[in-house]
Amino acid sequence: MGLNQTVQAYLNQAIQLRRDLHRIPEIGYSEMKTSEYICKFLDENGISYEKNIAKTGIIAKIEGNKIENGKTIAFRADMDALSLSEQNDIEFKSTHQGRMHGCGHDGHMTMLLLLAKHLMAHKNELNSDVVLIFQPAEEGPGGAKPMIDTGFLDKYQIDEVFGIHLHPDFNTGVIAVNKGPVMAMTGEFDFDIYTKSGHGAMPHTANDATIVMSQMISQFQSIVSRNVNPTEAGVVTVGRIEAGERRNIIAEHVRLEGTTRAFSEEVYNLIQTRMLEVAKGLELSFNCKIESEIRTMYPPVVNHASSVDAIREACKDMEVVDFPPQMIAEDFSFFLKERKGAFIFLGIRDEDNGFDKPLHNSKFNFDEEALLYGLQCYINLLNLYGSNI
């Protein structure tokens, strides 16, 4: 459904590209082999590019015919893998110990490489300039902003930017897209509580850091329910606690680590402010010292309405669905703060063939045929904007 014969003919190359990239997963800013592989492919297809953007990133440009009101459209793929040991029993398993493409970035790069090949084969019918962004370090610490800070969006006069992410919650070939906030703003927090230690049999001589910790967690969990408008959404999660030395020693130091998320910067900032106020109040109440560090990571992913309308129109012969906003995060958000565009989920779920594992799972896998739907989506979008490729 929705795939033309020209796109279907790319299946064998999609398999080869994806599996080649899957074998050489590399974490953020270390994507040396991956970058070399992409550059080799671009060279073989006569495509000009800049490399070493934000360390390992690549920007390629394919010029279309100069037409009145022509646009420059950018497409982005992330390059990095996860620090994860692959458990798949497959011929193209990761060759890098403790590294795995468990989030589909090998598929994202494959779709862009196939698009590049297709554009070069139909260059005479291309009426938009197209920029292909191969971005490092999406999984962390975030390569989008360092790439943007080089000024390339202005240099290449980019009007609109799109990205696709594989998603196993949707069946193979489904295009999932929505207007407005679709992914959360995210940050990390660390709180260190310092008190006075003592023997467990003489608690009156000590000041128990675990008591302060329990009060802190309890009050953190009331921030969203009692401070955030119920029509909004936010998350405070304490994911790690480090406390104590022995069972009969009252702890003098506790460390809390966690994450905060929200769909708006206003709610996100409110949560952070209240957390610091809670810590200050506990210092006074328990006569202790609390040190805090809060790191804001990515802003929310906010899709532009006109770009979503364009995707829906371009892909009207495909299966396009809405989806509820998700509290996961993506640094594609930085692109959408600077330019119009949209972030799209592409379904890869196929339970009958065992392709149903979640993202960031050591057995994550997918059928490469799903990538052709992403390629078709990109081609349809360019045709909507005036090309005939």
CATH of the domain at 35: 3.40.630.10
- Which residue among 26, 139, 159, 208 is the active-site one? 139
Does 78 qualify as catalytic in the annotation? yes
pLDDT tens string 153-212: 999 999 999 999 999 999 999 999 999 999 999 999 999 999 999 999 999 999 999 999
Determine the pLDDT at residue 64. 95
- Asked if residue 230 and residue 208 are part of one domain, the reply reads yes
Does 389 reside within a domain? no
- Taken in order 235, 240, 245, 246, is the CA torsion positive or negative? positive
* Domain termination site, one of 239, 272, 297: 297
- Asked if residue 189 and residue 252 are part of one domain, the reply reads yes
Q: pTM for the complete prediction?
A: 0.94
- Asked if residue 169 and residue 92 are part of one domain, the reply reads yes
- Asked if residue 242 and residue 128 are part of one domain, the reply reads no
User: Which of 148, 155, 135 lies closest to 61, judged by CA?
Assistant: 155
- Which residue among 31, 78, 80, 138 is the active-site one? 78
pLDDT at 247 over 90: yes
Q: What is the mean pLDDT of the chain?
A: 97
Determine the pLDDT at residue 68. 81
- Asked if residue 83 and residue 170 are part of one domain, the reply reads yes
Structural domains counted in the chain:
2
- Asked if residue 135 and residue 28 are part of one domain, the reply reads yes
Q: Which two tokens stand for residue 386?
A: 């005036």
317: Cα separation from own chain's centroid: 27
* Domain termination site, one of 297, 317, 350: 297
- Asked if residue 311 and residue 212 are part of one domain, the reply reads no
- Asked if residue 307 and residue 237 are part of one domain, the reply reads no
Does 104 reside within a domain? yes
Q: Please report which confidence band the pLDDT of residue 140 belongs to, taking 50, 70 and 90 as the band edges.
A: confident
- Asked if residue 141 and residue 10 are part of one domain, the reply reads yes
pLDDT tens string 79-137: 999 999 999 999 999 999 999 999 999 999 999 999 999 999 999 999 999 999 999 99
Domain of residue 257 covers: 185-297
Does 254 reside within a domain? yes
- Asked if residue 126 and residue 58 are part of one domain, the reply reads yes
Backbone φ/ψ region at 194: left (φ over 0), alpha (ψ -120 to 50), beta: beta
CATH of the domain at 293: 3.30.70.360
Does 75 reside within a domain? yes
What CA–CA distance (Å, rounded) separates 67 from 63?
11
What CA–CA distance (Å, rounded) separates 221 from 86?
35
- Asked if residue 170 and residue 236 are part of one domain, the reply reads no
Determine the pLDDT at residue 1. 58
* Domain termination site, one of 274, 297, 320: 297
Q: What are phi and psi of 220, to 5 degrees?
A: -60, -40
Does 52 reside within a domain? yes
Does 208 qualify as catalytic in the annotation? no
What CA–CA distance (Å, rounded) separates 250 from 61?
62
- Asked if residue 42 and residue 176 are part of one domain, the reply reads yes
